Amino acid sequence: MTIATIDPSTGELVQEFPAHTAAQVEEILSRADAANELMARSTFAERAEWMRRAADLLDADLEHAAGLAVLEMGKTLGTAKYEVTKSANGMRWYADHAEEYLAAEEPVPAASVGASAARVEFQPLGTVLAVMPWNYPFWQVIRFAAPALMAGNTGLLKHASSVPQTALYLGELFARAGFPAGAFQTLLIEGAAASALLDDRRIRAVTLTGSVGAGAAVAAAAGRNIKKSVLELGGTDAFVVMPSADIARSARMGAASRTQNSGQSCICAKRFFVHADVYDEWLEAFVGEMSATTFGDPREEDTGFGPMATAQVRADAHELVADAVAQGVTVRTGGELPEGPGWFYPATVLTEVTPEMRIFREECFGPVACVYKVASIDEAIAAANDSDFGLAAGVWSADADEIARLQRELEFGSVFANGNSASFFGLPFGGVKDSGYGRELGSFGIREFVNAKTVWTA
């Protein structure tokens, strides 16, 4: 088996890499296991020094690293540079805050539990396997790796098969920065092999960002082996527009959210629920914004968005659109496969979407927006919550009471008001329902892969 880099903007094969053999995987596991003792004995200060050095290396490699993201998944050069810089800054965040997040706590007075001393300490679990996607090939990995390593764990990265050069770069970055040999390594293996790895007792936990199917397989393997898992599985994210909203700005931000990363973002808006009082005005503005945002060469500065990452991802998105068209959806803009090389897809707006259409419930991972008219805030909440997913939502209103109610009653892992959904170093990130469980980032993320140990003394 080989793992390949294929340029999404041309569809051409760039380079192939042999998958790791069983013997090579065993060597990688052995190195990680040997590094666990060194990592557990290291201090926060030592790990912080290594992490800051890794961040500096990533900054120094900005042009090369961003170029890999452009080449392997079609990200525009500007957004690729932003992602790499954000990743480096996220590493510095955990270098600065890990010791604070994992400081021992005394949750109750010792005497109340019959002790002279009682506290909770946070200690590393060991080797954590990360199964990561291609859509944010640096940031998705770093937001796992930075907290896991700063907690004293070791990490194994099974990256998406379409970004092998990025995976290999990240597999070397932390060793270059001074972390013990084997503390963080890349596995070039197929997806099915990742679940099988959880049968190995040297791997103590797993985190996955990907599809519901992949998450279910990994969770089943983790459960069978009594191992901790964290899953982030995407979403059909809601975008609610109320009559008091800034129409022009919300339409502009909605289009930016839907076309960001060529629509291949778990937390960006996909289902737009617009109050009837402003529906026509908002839809006209939104269609105009979407129509004006065009795809093109991801290496050109004025490109709105680049190609989709793989031929299959584009085919999956278009299949959902075609199914909706066959059942009578109204296409306001886009919706047709462009001619020529590369895996491009136009910004697309659909209205009159009905429950019989697959796109009504399934996540469309592409620049395709479904717009619905709602008569009230009650209907908006009910419609937004009528989803198997619950990752992120955005609400647009100038009414503080409306915002408070929407943020309280929408069933999502995060609800942003008058701004697009995003991930932040200091805030937890994750979802509910089929969007997964567990959290990344902030103090919640670093505490996912530690042993919260009670220490009691009579």
Nearest to 423 by CA among 402, 399, 444, 401: 444
Q: Report how far residue 433's alpha carbon sits from residue 236's, in angstroms, rounded to the nearest whole number.
A: 11
- The count of C-alpha atoms lying within 13 angstroms of the C-alpha of 279, restricted to the half-sphere facing its C-beta, is 15
Distances (CA, A) of 291 to 82, 217, 331, 346: 25, 39, 12, 8
Q: Where are the beta strands (DSSP E) in 125-225?
A: 127-131, 154-158, 184-186, 203-209
Q: Report how far residue 120's alpha carbon sits from residue 98's, in angstroms, rounded to the nearest whole number.
A: 16
* Residues with Cβ within 8 Å of residue 339, at least 6 apart in sequence: none
Answer for the pair 174, 87: CB distance below 8 angstroms, yes or no. no
> H-type helices in 181-326, by residue range?
191-197, 212-224, 247-259, 279-292, 311-326
Nearest to 392 by CA among 424, 366, 360: 424
Q: Report how far residue 181's alpha carbon sits from residue 198's, in angstroms, rounded to the nearest whole number.
A: 22
Tokens of 15: 């380079």
Element (H, E) at 457: strand 450-457
Q: Report how far residue 228's alpha carbon sits from residue 284's, in angstroms, rounded to the nearest whole number.
A: 47
Q: Report how far residue 64's alpha carbon sits from residue 66's, in angstroms, rounded to the nearest whole number.
A: 6
Q: Does the annotation mark 266 as catalytic?
A: yes
CB-based burial label for 358 (10 Å; 0-12, 13-18, 19+): middle
Q: Report how far residue 437's alpha carbon sits from residue 429's, in angstroms, rounded to the nearest whole number.
A: 10
Residue type, 249: R
Instruction: Report helix angle 62-73 to 77-101, nearest 10.
Output: 120
Catalytic residue among 16, 37, 83, 266: 266
Q: Report how far residue 224's alpha carbon sits from residue 232's, in angstroms, rounded to the nearest whole number.
A: 20
Q: Does the annotation mark 362 as catalytic?
A: no
Q: Report how far residue 388's alpha carbon sits from residue 408's, in angstroms, rounded to the nearest whole number.
A: 18
Tokens of 18: 């042999």
| Phi, psi of 103, rounded to the nearest 5 degrees | -65, 140
Catalytic residue among 12, 37, 172, 232: 232
Nearest to 164 by CA among 190, 188, 195: 188
Residues identified as active-site: 232, 266
